Amino acid sequence: MKIFRDRVDAGRQLAQRLSALKDDDVVVLGLPRGGLPVAYEVAEALDAPLDVIVVRKLGVPFQPELAMGAIGEDGTRVLDTDVLTRARITDDELLAVEQAERAQLAERVARYRKGRPRADIAGRTVVVVDDGMATGSTARAACEVARNLGATRVVLAVPVASADVAREFPAADQVVCVSCEQHLRAVGLHYRDFRPTTDDEVMSLMQAAGRRSTNTQGSVLPDCDREVEIPSGGVRLQGHLHVPEPASGVVLFAHGSGSSRHSPRNRFVADVLFRAGLGTLLLDLLTPEEELKRHLVFDIEILADRLITATEWLATQPETAGCPVGYFGASTGAGAALWAAASGGPAVTAIVSRGGRPDLAEPRLPKVQAPTLLIVGSMDEPTLRVNRQAQARLRCQCSLVVVRGAGHLFEEPGTLNEAAELARGWFTRHLITATKAQMALADR
């Protein structure tokens, strides 16, 4: 059985199967929410514009899980006449369901695009992307919507699909998948990380795709936006460095257990920080082989040592040399960030922990000097408890903020955005203050 690490990994493998389309006039449409991280990777590999294709199922009134059709933008409507007949749906019943779903569709479109116009797909090849296909009902509706909006060729692309459904799928001109399974029980079983994609993450990916499109058209590029390798103790750590010009500082992300530099949540936070004038380094502290060894995920000393190495590396790069450095840690990454900051190594100006495990750095907590912000979800009681205990041990400037309605992963609507804005405020306050102090010293 094919297993993907996460949706980013699945998107990159899927993009390889679609490489023949790179020179075509292609638009990539992702199905929110889970299809967007996959579609983003496909669009980037094909150098194609990315948009959402929002579909709402029209459920039978007395059995809502049974689809009698689907709707899309611009009044597009696809009906299943067989279901309508068997369920004896009247015109008034159909109209009532459609009106309710159109209101939901309009709200989602407005939220995801934020005023951006819909991609023009008339006369073009459209690649409809989701994170998997079991029954095919949602994908079928999306392909029909794309064709009704003028696409001349529709390609359905999914990392994993039911072999029977993929084989008999008339809604698309072509079906591309990495793995076709004879007995597909559930799409999520084919991912090590199948956590829900939030609205915040969808919007972040759309914004990032929009910036990439603008840059391709000749606007001013950021000073630095590149994949990097950092040597550390016999291994090479993979990272992504994104630094604006000018930068007020740079934030190094220490990811939590089971996460990576491709984490949509951390990429969302990084995007918020970048727009505030801060550089970001999204870094994998473990190699892909090491990630499979569970004990290394909790080896805080190794993770902290590598974080220190990466901090020293930033001081050697022309884009970040002289920039004050902050750490953003999630889950176990927060423990590594606090341990590294207390090591007496490179100076760290500020730390933010989101849903972190500061207890893993408990012996070092009194030695942390950098101003530290602890962000915890109100519904994550175990993590909230250890963060309160850690706050009592820290001797530095420290604040604990509880985000109402948030769980451990901040998946609930609006909670990740709130956490990102808290991090932005903390880092800009402390890193920009440090930058001004450095400038004042230089002027003396």
Q: What is the pLDDT of residue 297?
A: 74
Q: Are residues 159 and 230 in the same domain?
A: no
At 141-185, the pLDDT tens digits run 899 889 988 999 999 999 999 999 999 999 999 999 999 999 888
Q: What mean pLDDT comes out for the span 375-392?
A: 96
- Whether 127 shows a pLDDT value over 50: the answer reads yes
Would the CA dihedral through 305, 309, 312, 318 be positive or negative? negative
Q: What mean pLDDT comes out for the span 325-346?
A: 93
In a domain, 212, yes or no: no
Q: What is the pLDDT of residue 403?
A: 94
Residue 191 has which token pair?
């991912």
Q: Are residues 254 and 183 in the same domain?
A: no
- Whether 214 shows a pLDDT value over 80: the answer reads no
Higher-scoring residue by pLDDT: 294, 287: 287
Q: What mean pLDDT comes out for the span 367-390?
A: 96
Q: Alpha-carbon distance 217 to 214, whole Å?
A: 5
- Domain total in the chain: 2
- Whether 322 shows a pLDDT value over 70: the answer reads yes
- Whether 251 shows a pLDDT value over 50: the answer reads yes
In a domain, 45, yes or no: yes
Buried b (16+ CB within 10 A) or exposed e, 321-349: eebbbbbbbbbbbbbbbbbbbbbeebebb
Q: % helix / strand / coil in the chain, to the nearest 5? A: 45, 25, 35
Domain that holds residue 399: 199-203+221-443
Q: Alpha-carbon distance 444 to 421, whole Å?
A: 35
Q: Alpha-carbon distance 330 to 356, whole Å?
A: 5
Q: Alpha-carbon distance 301 to 339, whole Å?
A: 7
At 405-441, the pLDDT tens digits run 999 989 898 899 899 989 988 998 888 766 555 544 4
Q: What is the pLDDT of residue 131?
A: 95
Q: What is the pTM of this model?
A: 0.60
Q: What is the pLDDT of residue 435?
A: 55
Q: What mean pLDDT comes out for the span 345-349?
A: 90
Round the average pLDDT of the chain to a whole number and report it. 88
In a domain, 256, yes or no: yes
Q: What is the pLDDT of residue 213?
A: 61
Q: Are residues 233 and 376 in the same domain?
A: yes
Q: What is the pLDDT of residue 396?
A: 95
At 56-85, the pLDDT tens digits run 889 899 988 787 888 888 787 888 888 899
Whether 367 contacts 396, CB under 8 Å: no
Annotate 309-370 with DSSP letters as a single string.
Answer: HHHHHHTTSTTTTT--EEEEEETHHHHHHHHHHTTTSS---EEEEES--GGGGGGGGGG--S
Q: Which segment of 264-268, 353-357, 362-366 scores lowest on mean pLDDT?
A: 264-268
3-class state of residue 63 by DSSP = strand
In a domain, 216, yes or no: no
In a domain, 414, yes or no: yes
- Whether 218 shows a pLDDT value over 50: the answer reads no
In a domain, 349, yes or no: yes
- Whether 221 shows a pLDDT value over 50: the answer reads no
Q: What is the pLDDT of residue 220?
A: 40
Q: Which pLDDT band holds residue 212 (cuts at 50, 70, 90)?
A: low
Q: Are residues 276 and 411 in the same domain?
A: yes
CATH of the domain at 53: 3.40.50.2020
CATH of the domain at 260: 3.40.50.1820
